[in-house]
Structure 1
Amino acid sequence: MKLHLQEIPRVKTITKADFIKHYFKPQKPVVIERCIEDWPAFTKWNLDYIKQVAGDKTVPLYDDRPVNYKDGFNEAHATMKMSAYVDLLKSEPTKYRIFLWNILKEVPLLQKDFSFPDFGLKLMKSLPMLFFGGKDSHTFMHYDIDFANIFHFHFEGKKQCILFNQDQNKYLYKIPYSLITREDIDFSNPDFKKWPALQNAKGYITELNHGEVLYMPEGYWHYMKYITPGFSMSLRSIPKNPKNLAKAVYNIAIMRHFDTIMRKIKGQNWIDYKNKQAILNTNKKIS
């Protein structure tokens, strides 16, 4: 038995008016296949090029270990020179990933390789972020703290993306006071005996190839698995729905800090409590 996932719609190209009408306003995901072929990045950006222009940079690395109460917010698990990291990606499977790597700050040269496309939404031009991963590495199922509209551009290789709308929260074993689901759920091959509520969840799936862009609407859950080594860039636009904007403000101004305080006070007991509540809350909502 598999998750109830429908393929994300694909278009070759799209006008601003059609994007707004068919995907942004109804808040539906879409893959645009031929959006960036005029970017220098389309032909230049691969792992070898990143090694060439950023090889001397020390990069933060993350793996799939469970959250620990000692971890700071988005605290890296290791660091490495980008040149060594690219060599690692190309030589063997690795769990190590890079995420939220601000290319304007770290490698301004890369900004010359892309432009900000006009989808009808105002993009945050100070926050183009890069994400890297090795074969079979993955993120936990999560949504972004700011509930942004996200345009996710993929480079080199293939990447599997599984998405859920926020209206599926009751089936996903969401961790309270957090942005993730239970970390021990394998969304690429879930155990329905252990996580029966997932049988009711309805989501989306696609595989991104080099040069394709995935639009993820406001607050959408996403799980990313690198089928081959590769990297992606995200551009974002603030949420337009007032309720989602309010949730973003709450997450950033209150929830994040409350969770940090509770980790300091209760330690691992707080993490364990939240993991238990994820199951109890889900069972209560579906019973």
Structure 2
Amino acid sequence: MFGCRTLLKQIRKRNKRKPHKFHSKNRRKNPNSTQQHQDSPTEDGFNLKDSSPSQNYGVQPLGNFYFTSSPHNSRNTGLGNIHTLTDELVLDILGFLTGTHLGILSTVSKSFYVFCNHEPLWRNLVLDGCDDGFLFKGSWKSTFVAAYNPCYDVSKIGSLGFKVKDFYSDYLFQSWLCANLEMKVEWLERDNIVRRKGISFDEFVSDFETPNKPVLLEGCLDNWPALKKWDRDYLVKVCGDARFSVGPIQMKLSDFFVYADQAQEERPLYLFDPKFANKVPKLGKDYEVPVYFSEDLFSVLGDERPDYRWIIIGPAGSGSSFHIDPNSTSAWNAVVKGSKKWVLFPPDVVPPGVYPSADGAEVACPVSITEWFMNFYESTKTWKKKPIECVCKAGEVIFVPNGWWHLVINLEDSIAITQNYVSRRNLLNVLDFLKRPNASTLVSGTRDRVNLHDKFKKAIEVSFPGTIDELTKKAEIKKAELEKPSYWDSVKDSNSGGFKFF
């Protein structure tokens, strides 16, 4: 058994999601059955996905409790003395149990039945125990049981689920709601990014890379074989038994597609592999770097360079919550199949709901992507510095400048290639980043986090002698020009205190 202090200490380490309450403006106001919640759109225009909604065991938002004639919340009566704990803390404690113990505890009361069937608990059990991948069986609990006892008919698990009467929980309801919601039209219609087609390299550098501004580029993938060839059948055939990074595990592409077709959860897994071209060289030959991003100075490090390119495959709803790309690099992201919604904020604007540490080593984004849209997106419409937004479709490329915050969500099954790179326009920023006092905690994608700055700088000086000094002088001149007094400041009479407007 754990002592209380030890238990709480371990929970704090494991807890990666902090609560954000489900606001009443997003709740359905009809206090009757949860079936209404599942079968009809909300008053705010929320609609559930066309596929069958996942099981929510009758959980209703807490606000409905105040409209019901029942004096009891079965959530509390079934938990006994621990009902005073938050839902998050209850789930964190249950996260220390094995699958067998969760199954046993689920028979104690209706409340424990709901908590012990919370899908993320079973997801963690599956991912912690399957180094060689998994074969998804419609739910994480079914997947766990199938791996634990292959002879058991897991189809019975879904049919055995039942709804608990008068169970109210904002946390559990919102988790279910976010897993089953369609993206609202209002979340997708704003498209204020600059779009360009057929611009020259010099135009890209002067208009976007140098001023560090995003742009969506059209038409520069037209010659990619991947655009025509990369469907599921082709990829499964070419990749064979190769295993790719999916969350914390490695799995075959064919098995991942089985999961992607069935998954309906708040935070779907997606395939994000930095070694794909080494594992399957054919994939690396099916695309080429657009000319705008051809200069990649990290290449001077050869095999010691940090991870820089990834294949990304994910179902609708998967994606990345707000983050800044690693090592102060810029990036490009090319959609091969499907479409992605992008929301970007400049380096000096921290997105709402995001809490970076003072040293930049950690970023807490305690809500899922869908939950961020539900609770924070609307407020950005009134901001002076509004986010840059777009939907990037197949055949299009988005340029993500260094330091920009960005969120990405797949609107449908999607395949993309992304690369991070360092050009001369960003070289000094990267070198400054790599020599920060806490660089060992900030640098990512490489085993040697301590010496990367020195290795990179020396390699640049050998491959491109004088470049760093030249860029430094230009930066100093530019800085001096920005600090140069304006004409009106220069004509002031220091003895008289300057002229004034009345």
Question: CA 1:9–1:154 in structure 2 vs 1: closer, same or farther (change >3 Å)?
Answer: same
Q: What is the CA distance between 1:172 and its match in structure 2?
A: 5.5
- d(CA) in 1 for partners of 2:428 and 2:343? 26
Q: What is the CA distance between 1:120 and its match in structure 2?
A: 6.0
- d(CA) in 2 for partners of 1:80 and 1:166? 35
> Is 1:138 aligned to residue 322 of structure 2?
no
Aligned residues: 241
Equivalent runs, 1:119-268 vs 2, <5 Å: 119=292, 122-123=295-296, 127-169=308-350, 173-176=354-357, 177-178=360-361, 180-184=363-367, 186=369, 189-192=373-376, 200=383, 202-238=386-422, 240=426, 242-250=428-436, 253-256=439-442
Counterpart position of 1:81 = 252
Counterpart position of 2:27 = none
Secondary structure of the 1:20 match is: helix
> Deviation per CA, 1:38-97, whole angstroms, max 9, x where unpaired?
1212211233322221131222222xxxxxxxxxxxxx1x43211111233245546011
Question: CA 1:250–1:104 in structure 2 vs 1: closer, same or farther (change >3 Å)?
Answer: farther
Q: CA RMSD in A?
A: 3.1
Question: Which has the larger displacement, 25-34 or 100-109?
Answer: 100-109
Counterpart position of 1:29 = 214
Tell me if structure 1 keeps the 8 A contact 2:433–2:439: no
Q: Which amino acid aligns with 1:212?
A: E
Higher relative contact order (CA 8 A, sep 6+): 1
Q: TM-score, normalised by structure 1?
A: 0.72
Q: Which amino acid aligns with 1:96?
A: L
Q: TM-score, normalised by structure 2?
A: 0.43
- d(CA) in 1 for partners of 2:330 and 2:199? 17
- d(CA) in 2 for partners of 1:56 and 1:213? 30
Q: What is the CA distance between 1:161 and its match in structure 2?
A: 1.2
Q: Which has the higher strand share?
A: 1
Q: Which has the higher helix share?
A: 2
Tell me if structure 1 keeps the 8 A contact 2:353–2:366: no
Tell me if structure 2 keeps the 8 A contact 1:146–1:252: no
Question: CA 1:212–1:118 in structure 2 vs 1: closer, same or farther (change >3 Å)?
Answer: same
Tell me if structure 1 keeps the 8 A contact 2:345–2:351: no
Secondary structure of the 2:349 match is: helix
Q: Which amino acid aligns with 1:225?
A: I
2:232 corresponds, among 26, 47, 71, to: 47
> Deviation per CA, 1:92-143, whole angstroms, max 9, x where unpaired?
5460112243222221111221222221651356733111211111212111
- d(CA) in 1 for partners of 2:225 and 2:437? 36
- List alignment gaps of at least 5 residues for structure 2: 1-43, 45-185, 303-307, 444-502
Tell me if structure 2 keeps the 8 A contact 1:141–1:181: no
Identity %: 21
Tell me if structure 2 keeps the 8 A contact 1:56–1:81: yes
Q: Which amino acid aligns with 1:173?
A: V
Tell me if structure 2 keeps the 8 A contact 1:192–1:198: no
Tell me if structure 2 keeps the 8 A contact 1:145–1:252: no
- List alignment gaps of at least 5 residues for structure 1: 63-75, 258-287
Question: CA 1:150–1:93 in structure 2 vs 1: closer, same or farther (change >3 Å)?
Answer: same
Tell me if structure 2 keeps the 8 A contact 1:154–1:211: yes
Q: Which amino acid aligns with 1:14?
A: I
